[in-house]
Structure 1
Amino acid sequence: MEIKKVSIIGLGALGILFGHHLTKKMPKNDLRIIADQDRIGRYQTDGVYCNGERCEFHYVTPEEKCETADLLIFAVKYDGLEDSIQAARNHVGENTIILSLLNGISSEDVIGKAFGMDKILYSVAQGMDAVKVGNELTYANKGMICFGDREFGVISDKVKSVEAFFEKMELPYQVDTDMKKRLWGKFMLNVGVNQTVAVYRSDYGEIQREGQARDTMIAAMREVIALSEKEGVHLTEADLDYWLTVLGTLSPEGKPSMAQDVEAKRFSEVDLFSGTVLELGKKFGIPTPVNKELYERIKLMESEYESSYF
């Protein structure tokens, strides 16, 4: 199947970054950004900017009837996933391929229950150092999308279709035949990087150099390695080294999404990161003290700025 119609839901950092890239490569009306009317009004009035350039997006409301998407990309925060599933229903047809760029290790299953797991390819966005402030996104490294089938060692026709499309669009990508391990590896990185930078109120540079923050990050990641053994994923120190190498490519002045949330006094995805680690630790009887401390410190920060609203 040739991919021609693409729909994206979510204009956070990843939605803007990859959406803006695609606007340069495909007809405007073939790329649809799904958003409610209020958001569309704000986007059109205030603009959406990527590295200083105004994005020329074609917006559609969830109610609008349209051709179903050949490729549907979810790029929302996890707490908005259920609403976005409902908003995207008009874009899902019999042959639609779905990619989820959400953090964590559970969004594919949630989306798959709604639309069918046969439509899902597992995917991970990695290597980007995008920072979004208000309606403006800046980045130095675009990173790439890694994707593949749920089943180990398989390269399906759906994967080949997405690969051909990304090649045509000149969008950086990598096909992976062990996507469960890739998802867990990115989860491990997020658990360490997002939470540590948020707690230390710093940036990537702080955890790229030796010191207490980097030690905390690595300790949190090693707790995920221990849990992965129980889940049959078997992350190793080699995987830790791989993701630390990815971290080393990011702009030192950049910040992950959780740090940006804390600065803006928004509630973060801490429950998706250390919250999940604590649940799995309890399930398997594995101590996770570093993630417990990170969880408690982030929840404390959120409670303090929550009280400032009143």
Structure 2
Amino acid sequence: MKYLIIGAGGTGGVVGFHMAQAGKDVTLIARDAHLESIQQKGLTLQTMWDENTKTIPVKASDMQHYKDRPDVILVCVKGYSLDGIYEFICRIAKPQTIVIPILNIYGTGAKMQEKLPGMLVTDGCIYVSANIKEPGVILQHGKILRIFFGVRQKEEKCQLLEQIQKDFRDSAIDGILSEQIQRDALEKFSYVSPIGAAGLYLNATAGDFQKEGKARELFCTMIREIVALATAMGFPFEKDMVSVNLQILSNLPPEATTSMQRDVMAHRPSEVDGLVYEVVRMAHRYQVPVPAYEKVAQKLQGEIMCEKNSHTEGNVEIKREEK
């Protein structure tokens, strides 16, 4: 099968590297110096847990020059970039093409499905910590590399999804075709949203959360608020998500930060709307108290509004909805 990965950063770059290394037909959509370096020198993956560095050839293109017809499209861009890829997907996709978003923001698949009628858009999420170190070089912070994906309606399930799972696993990626993808996506959200929100609120690194103290306490409190929200939404967790997420956190190097933190600190567009403000909106909708999220959202809203003249963060309105 032909795979297209839109986005060649810490998510798409790692996935594309492993799939290309396993001999899968995969192409990365990248841009600027990152694209030029991949095309000329190959893609390099470095890992923080050892000195292993490897460079391999990986097919790469920009959206303008990509002419193929992929069987599977993995969407690995940030949430604020989605509007810029729909026209491209419609141009290059076949009627049978499957689109798998593996973004940080919960509910992305359903929103994309509305924009791509006639195609199958699944839900999905990924566990990986990595970033672009320099053009053509991806730095992976932790060993975990796991993708959950699946359909929201059972009647949408098809045999091709099982082949995708096999291709992931052939590529040293822990691919899981989920029967409960909305719950599994919320489980991932219960980590990435609290760690991003608390990290940005306290300007904290993984090391701050790995030890007892204010940062760890806030992180755990926000996880519990997501747990309560998931239950109200009808997707109760079957695990102790505080323990699960603390275990994930323990595998990261102390200096690690989230992509949202790095984006905000660099005055770039960020996913703060989908990872923080959206939680407050959802909590109001389902009438779930989230005082920690309210506190964090109010502070971040005030700080980021100062940057609104140069960066648009989307709808940051978090007032309580009318019942």
Q: Report what 2:57 is aligned to.
A: 56
Q: Report what 2:125 is aligned to.
A: 124
Asked if residue 259 in structure 1 is aligned to residue 261 in structure 2, the reply is yes
Map Cα deviations across residues 178-221 of structure 1 (whole Å, 9 max, x no partner). 11111111112122111112222222121122111011111112
Map Cα deviations across residues 99-139 of structure 1 (whole Å, 9 max, x no partner). 1111111210122123347622322101x221434434211
Q: Report what 2:113 is aligned to.
A: 112
Is the CA contact (8 Å cut-off) linking 1:5 and 1:70 kept in structure 2?
Answer: yes
Out of 275, 278, 282, which is 1:276 matched to?
Answer: 278
In structure 1, the residue corresponding to 2:85 is in which secondary structure?
A: helix
Question: Structure 1 residue 62: deviation in Å?
Answer: 2.7
Distance 1:299 1:46 in 2: 41
Q: Report what 2:200 is aligned to.
A: 198
In structure 1, the residue corresponding to 2:122 is in which secondary structure?
A: strand
Out of 9, 22, 29, which is 1:34 matched to?
Answer: 29
Is the CA contact (8 Å cut-off) linking 1:47 and 1:54 kept in structure 2?
Answer: yes
Aligned partner letter, 2:82: L
Question: Structure 1 residue 81: deviation in Å?
Answer: 0.5
Aligned partner letter, 1:24: Q
Q: Report what 1:226 is aligned to.
A: 228
In structure 2, the residue corresponding to 1:138 is in which secondary structure?
A: strand
Asked if residue 235 in structure 1 is aligned to residue 241 in structure 2, the reply is no
Q: Report what 1:23 is aligned to.
A: 20
Question: Structure 1 residue 149: deviation in Å?
Answer: 2.7
Distance 2:235 2:44 in 1: 39
Do the aligned partners of residues 39 and 16 (structure 1) sit closer, same or farther apart at CA in structure 2, a change above 3 Å counting? closer
Amino-acid identity (%) = 19
Asked if residue 10 in structure 1 is aligned to residue 7 in structure 2, the reply is yes
Distance 2:225 2:60 in 1: 42
Distance 1:138 1:104 in 2: 22
- Indicate the structure with greater helix content: 1
Q: Report what 1:80 is aligned to.
A: 81
How do 1:159-178 residues align onto structure 2 when only pairs under 5 Å count? 159-178=161-180
Distance 1:146 1:23 in 2: 20
In structure 1, the residue corresponding to 2:143 is in which secondary structure?
A: coil
Distance 1:166 1:308 in 2: 39
Out of 286, 289, 292, which is 1:287 matched to?
Answer: 289
How do 1:175-194 residues align onto structure 2 when only pairs under 5 Å count? 175-194=177-196
Distance 1:170 1:48 in 2: 17
Do the aligned partners of residues 279 and 25 (structure 1) sit closer, same or farther apart at CA in structure 2, a change above 3 Å counting? same
Question: Structure 1 residue 86: deviation in Å?
Answer: 1.9
Distance 2:251 2:224 in 1: 21
Is the CA contact (8 Å cut-off) linking 1:130 and 1:255 kept in structure 2?
Answer: no
Distance 1:61 1:308 in 2: 26
Range with bigger deviation, 232-241 or 104-113: 232-241
In structure 2, the residue corresponding to 1:227 is in which secondary structure?
A: helix
Distance 2:111 2:118 in 1: 9
How many residue pairs end up in the alignment?
Answer: 303
Q: Report what 1:209 is aligned to.
A: 211
In structure 2, the residue corresponding to 1:103 is in which secondary structure?
A: coil
Aligned partner letter, 2:75: F
Aligned partner letter, 2:249: L
Distance 2:153 2:125 in 1: 16
In structure 2, the residue corresponding to 1:105 is in which secondary structure?
A: coil
Question: Structure 1 residue 36: deviation in Å?
Answer: 5.8
Q: Report what 1:137 is aligned to.
A: 138
Do the aligned partners of residues 191 and 65 (structure 1) sit closer, same or farther apart at CA in structure 2, a change above 3 Å counting? closer
Is the CA contact (8 Å cut-off) linking 1:63 and 1:90 kept in structure 2?
Answer: no
Structure 1, unaligned stretches of length 5 or more? none
Question: Structure 1 residue 274: deviation in Å?
Answer: 1.7
In structure 1, the residue corresponding to 2:28 is in which secondary structure?
A: strand
